[in-house]
Every structure is written in C-alpha cells, then in structure tokens.
Chains A and B, each alone.
Chain A
Amino acid sequence: MKKSFAKGVFRPNSELLGRFLTMGAAILAIISVVTIVSFITVKGLSTFIINGVSVKEFLFSTQWWPDRLPEDGGPQVGVLVFIFGSVVIAMLAVLLSAPLSIICAVFMAEIAPSWGQRFLQPAIELLAGIPSVVYGYIGLSLLVPFIRDNIGGMGFSILAGFLVLSIMILPTIVSVLTDSLRSLPREYKEAALALGSTRWQSIYHVLIPAARSGLITGIVLGLARAFGEALAVQMVIGNMRKMPTSIMDPVITLTSAITMDMGNTPMGSLWNNALWSMGLFTLMMSCFFILVLRFVVRKGGVVR
C-alpha cells in the first residue's frame, strides 16, 4: 500500500507531486528570509552582547576609534557619522530624483505621443539595467574631476554621491508611478477635462492625487534602494570618517564602511563586529521601509 502511494506521488503527472514541488519552492522563500534576518541579527548583536558596547553609544556617538588602544581612551565604535552620511545622501538623492521622476512618469502616461513613449520607456528600462559599478565609475572619472575643477573641494563629496544615486533610483520611481498612473480609470481624466480643466489642471488636481499611493510607494522604494546602495556611492564620496560641514565635504556611509573594511578586519574583533552591527542597522532600515509600504498601500486602499 505504502509503496504504491509513493509510486503514485512520483509519477510525473501526479497532482500531489506538483503541490509538493511548488509549495516547497514557496516555503524556501520564507526560509531564506528567516535565516537571513536571524543570522544577521545574531551576528550584529555581538557588538552589544560580547563587546559590551551600549546601544546608545553605538547609535549616537560620533567617536569612531575601533583600533585605538585602551590607554588612549579605549576602542570606541560610535557610528553616528556613518548613519548621518547614509541618511543625508539617500534623502538628497530622493529630493532630486522624485520631481524628475514625476515629470518623466506623467510625460509617459499622459503627455507623450506614441513615439515619445516608445522612446522613453526603453530608455528608462535601460537606465535601470546599467550596473551600479558603471555609474560609480562614471562618477569617479567624470563627475568627481568636474566638481573638483569647477566648484571646488576635492571632488569626492556628498554632492557627487547623491547625484550618482539620484540617477540610479530614477527608474525605480518612474516605473512604479507610471504603472499606477496607467491603472487609473479613464473616467477620472475625462471627467476633469469635461468640467473644463486644462490638461495640467487635470494632472495636478486629479491624476497625481489619485495615484498618490503609487507615488509614495515609488519614493519609498527609491529611498530604500538609495540607502542600501554600496559600491557606486563608495567610489565617489571620499569615505572620510568625519562629520561633513557642507555638501562639498567627503563623507562616509554605512554600506561603504562595510565594503571597505569587512575584508580587512579579523572576524570576531570589535571593529569587525561593529561592521556587522552596521549591516544589521541597514537590514532593519530596509525592513522599516517595507513596513511603511505595507501600511501606506493598505491605507491608501489602492492595490499596487
């Protein structure tokens, strides 16, 4: 009996086999998220548990001296400078990218004649396909010297970092917003036009407010991407572990510190553990962004 059951399950046409296989694959997705979160959390907490650094000092101190000897004031791992760098660069990138993305998305969904759309859509998709290191390299070889020669400073700066990032997150925001603009009922636009509003009025007063949840989704996704981007930013911001005073100053971010030092510090040292804690912080930020999205989308009542 048992044997024939097994035989039945493993027949290629068996319904049960299909169910097992597909469900197994789906469960694999859950397993991988759970393991990623738990492993990074356990490893990231070791700064606080094994090395006894207080969470408050870690998050709010600007003193980053992981290799200083105890007689000089002890190793200190305050990462406020890194968090500040990450936040500032991501926010500035979104501030520049969001208006430009809205323009592109509205243009594609409402204004462009068919040829304009046929041109812009692949262009934006292509923009999304360019590898981040290539953006970083263009920033390094074109933007940084340009800033150094024409605006001043070293060139490696917050300015270079957020300019590169804003190009990188543009396609993300544009594609989400375009989708949500296109999914709006035609009647919205037609009613607005029938009431005598111009195209701009219908876009500004009707379409963009109606696509608001798509707009927020796009911006949050862009922010998440900007926050998590590592290499392109690392190549152009100069990586100076000091509080910047202007946007022409070099700066350092959480992700760029991880990429630079993870390979050079011995596993288990305080420095290395602090890097893992930074990784945990980055992970927590991206979880926070996902929560924001779920909240916004549910509240907005619009399914993405």
Chain B
Amino acid sequence: MNSRRVDRIATAIFWAGALAVIFFLGTIVCYILYHGGKYIDWAFLTKPSQVISAGGGIGPQIFNTFYLLLLSMSITIPVGLLAGVYLSEYAGANKFTEAIKLSIETLNSLPSIVVGLFGLLVFVNMTGWGYSLLSGALALTVLNLPFMVRITEESIRGVPAGLREASLALGANRWQTICKVVLPAAFPGLISGIIITCGRVFEEAAALLFTAGMSSPPMDFSQWNIFNETSPLNPFRPAETLSVHIWKINTEGLIPDLRRVADGSAAVLILFVLSFNLTARWLGRRIHRKMTAT
C-alpha cells in the first residue's frame, strides 16, 4: 500500500471520528431536550416536589440551585481572584510558589466525592451546621477554587506588559496597578471565566449529597427572616439541588411519574448549562470587541 493511500485512509478515519463525536453529542442533547421539553411548563417549574406521589414539580430545587450558586460564588470569586493575582503578579520562583501551585493542582484533581466526604466531616459534623446550604457552598468553593485561580491567571497573562509598565512608570504601586489597570484590562476573560465557573455549579452533585443534603423541607417565600427555619434564604437549612434531585429520584424510585420529573429536570438542567456557556462566549466576545474597538 503506498503512502498516499494510507494518508487518504487516515484522513477519512479522522473525519469519521470527529463527525461521530459531533453526531453523538447532538443526539444526547436533542434526546434530552425532546423528551424533557414536553414536560416543562410553568407549573412544573414552580410547584414543590413530591416524595411518594405523582405530580411534583421542581420549584424548590431550582431555587436552591441558584441560591447555592450565589452563596458559593460569593466566596469563590474573591478568594480565587486574589490567589490568581498573587500567582501571576507577586509570586517569585521559590518553594512557596511551588507549594501553592502543587496545592491548586491537587485541589483540581480531587474527586468530588472526596470533597463531599471532607465537607461531611468538617462543615456538616464538626461545625454542627448539619446538612445545610452553607456546607454545600463551602464544598463547592473547594471544588471551583482551582478553576477560578486558573482563569484569573490566564486572563491576567493576556494583559500586555506595556500597560503594567506604563502604570508603574507613572508612580503607581503594584497593588494600584493591579486594581486600576491589570484587572480592568483582564475583565473580558474574567467575566466569561466566572460564568463558566457558575455553570460548573449546576453540574456538581456528588459533593453535595453529604453536604447540602438530599431533602428539601417546605419553604415559605413570605418569610424573609433569614434565621427562620422555613425561610428560603436561611443558609443553615438543608437544600437539594436540581442535579441531586435527578440522582435521588432515580435511585430511590419512589414517585410514580419518575420518567416525567427526571426527563423534565434533565432538560431544565441542560438548558441552564447551555445558556450559561453561550452567554459566557457571547459576553466575552462582545466585551472584547468593545474594549479593543475592533
């Protein structure tokens, strides 16, 4: 067989493989959206879920997911941002920097179930909070921190050195330079990175099983005292997110309309993830165009 023919066969295989992956992805997404889409209506999205009878919705789960997102990102963003700034602006080539990098790498490859176990041990049992939103948010922070740090580092690396030097030459100190010049210049990368990190919160389930819990006690949306047990905003109440809900109803299998709720929830979850990803791309491009004026 001559090499030209081998080349042609190899090219065909590469095309076939790539197309197969795209086809496969398309099938998965369409399958979920098609099967789940027909169950999505306003009642499904707002009604409370049922434990053993049919007709439940996913209202509390959606609320919990977004509230958990808010709680966890309000810790992840500042800490991740600062740590990323340290690594890209201050860190020298020494043992300490090496230790930080190794830690971030380790955090990044920790299985989420291990983070969940750690959360169970420390945030749930040792602090006495029990299964709570706050424990879940902290576990999620541990999982998302390395991602946030990497995004910050990457966005800052894209800032031209000239900007930084000009600021320093004008007499600004490094912290001023970071706050007033470097971070604003890195903003497009940061904002799309943050949205992608938010999208990762929807995916997580294993770390939340034993930290935020698998139950959603009744909530009273007129109760705004955050220390009241029925208040939706109370960070110390157990809260089941959408992805945990999908897992739970499938493994327990107590509700008769399992397929309806699971299909619908999966479709809603995919829609959230899709919209976050697309928003991140769109916003990143838009801000970039605005700032670079091209």
Which residues of A approach B to under 8 Å, CB–CB? Answer: 13-15, 17-19, 21-30, 32-33, 35-36, 39-40, 43, 100, 103-104, 106-108, 111-112, 116, 119-120, 122-127, 129-134, 136-138, 140-142, 167, 170, 197-201, 203-204, 221, 224-225, 227-231, 234-235, 255, 258-260, 262-263, 267, 276, 279, 282-283, 286-287, 289-290, 293-294
Docked-complex contact A26 and B83, CB < 8 angstroms: yes
Nearest Cβ in chain A — how far from B255, in angstroms?
Answer: 15
Cβ contacts A to B, 19 pairs, < 8 Å: A13-B173, A18-B174, A22-B82, A23-B90, A25-B81, A25-B86, A107-B18, A111-B11, A120-B21, A127-B21, A131-B204, A138-B31, A138-B32, A200-B7, A200-B10, A221-B109, A229-B111, A260-B251, A290-B106
Query: B110, B113, B121: which has the most chain A beta carbons within 10 Å?
Result: B113
Which residues of B approach A to under 8 Å, CB–CB? Answer: 3-4, 6-7, 10-11, 13-15, 17-18, 20-22, 24-26, 28-29, 31-32, 78-83, 85-87, 89-91, 99-100, 102-107, 109-115, 117-118, 120-122, 125, 142, 145-146, 149, 173-176, 178-179, 199-200, 202-206, 209-210, 214, 243-244, 246-247, 250-251, 259, 262-263, 266, 269-270, 273-274, 277, 281
Docked-complex contact A201 and B3, CB < 8 angstroms: yes
Docked-complex contact A25 and B83, CB < 8 angstroms: yes
A159 to B289, CA, bound (A): 47
Given A25-B82, A103-B13, A107-B17; A142-B111 close (CB under 8 Å): no
Docked-complex contact B113 and A199, CB < 8 angstroms: no
Chain A residue contacts of B174, Cβ below 8 A: 15, 18
What 6 pairs across the A-B complex have the smallest Cβ distances? A228-B111, A18-B175, A103-B17, A25-B82, A22-B86, A198-B7
A267 to B126, CA, bound (A): 13
Chain B residue contacts of A122, Cβ below 8 A: 281
Given A123-B21, A134-B32, A170-B21; A286-B110 close (CB under 8 Å): yes
A14 to B173, CA, bound (A): 8
Chain B residue contacts of A197, Cβ below 8 A: 3
Given A18-B178, A111-B15, A235-B250; A129-B203 close (CB under 8 Å): yes
Docked-complex contact B114 and A279, CB < 8 angstroms: yes
Of A127, A136, A267, which one neighbours B247 at CB under 8 angstroms? A136
Given A28-B79, A29-B104; A130-B273 close (CB under 8 Å): yes
A198 to B31, CA, bound (A): 40
Given A131-B273, A138-B31; A230-B113 close (CB under 8 Å): yes
Chain A residue contacts of B205, Cβ below 8 A: 131-133, 231
A18 to B103, CA, bound (A): 21
Of B80, B82, B175, B251, which one neighbours A24 at CB under 8 angstroms? B82
A13 to B174, CA, bound (A): 9
Nearest Cβ in chain A — how far from B102, in angstroms?
Answer: 8
Of A100, A132, A198, A235, which one neighbours B21 at CB under 8 angstroms? A100
Docked-complex contact A263 and B14, CB < 8 angstroms: no
Docked-complex contact A290 and B109, CB < 8 angstroms: yes
Docked-complex contact A199 and B7, CB < 8 angstroms: yes
- Tell me the nearest residue of chain B to A254, going by C-beta: B113
A262 to B113, CA, bound (A): 11
A112 to B121, CA, bound (A): 49
A100 to B25, CA, bound (A): 14
Docked-complex contact B103 and A276, CB < 8 angstroms: no
13 new A-B contacts, CB < 8 A, other than A29-B100, A138-B28, A142-B31, are A13-B173, A22-B82, A28-B83, A29-B146, A124-B21, A127-B25, A129-B273, A134-B266, A141-B263, A199-B10, A228-B112, A282-B111, A293-B105
A142 to B199, CA, bound (A): 25
Given A26-B100, A111-B11, A290-B106; A132-B203 close (CB under 8 Å): yes
Chain B residue contacts of A19, Cβ below 8 A: 90, 175
A294 to B203, CA, bound (A): 28
Docked-complex contact B103 and A33, CB < 8 angstroms: yes
Docked-complex contact B250 and A140, CB < 8 angstroms: yes
A134 to B265, CA, bound (A): 9
Chain B residue contacts of A111, Cβ below 8 A: 11, 14-15
Nearest Cβ in chain B — how far from A255, in angstroms?
Answer: 5
- Tell me the nearest residue of chain B to A102, going by C-beta: B17
Of B87, B113, B200, which one neighbours A279 at CB under 8 angstroms? B113
- Tell me the nearest residue of chain B to A174, going by C-beta: B21
A27 to B263, CA, bound (A): 43
Nearest Cβ in chain B — how far from A238, in angstroms?
Answer: 12
- Tell me the nearest residue of chain A to B16, going by C-beta: A103
A15 to B85, CA, bound (A): 13
Of B85, B112, B179, B251, which one neighbours A235 at CB under 8 angstroms? B251
A125 to B243, CA, bound (A): 19
Docked-complex contact A100 and B266, CB < 8 angstroms: no
- Tell me the nearest residue of chain A to B281, going by C-beta: A122
Docked-complex contact A224 and B107, CB < 8 angstroms: no
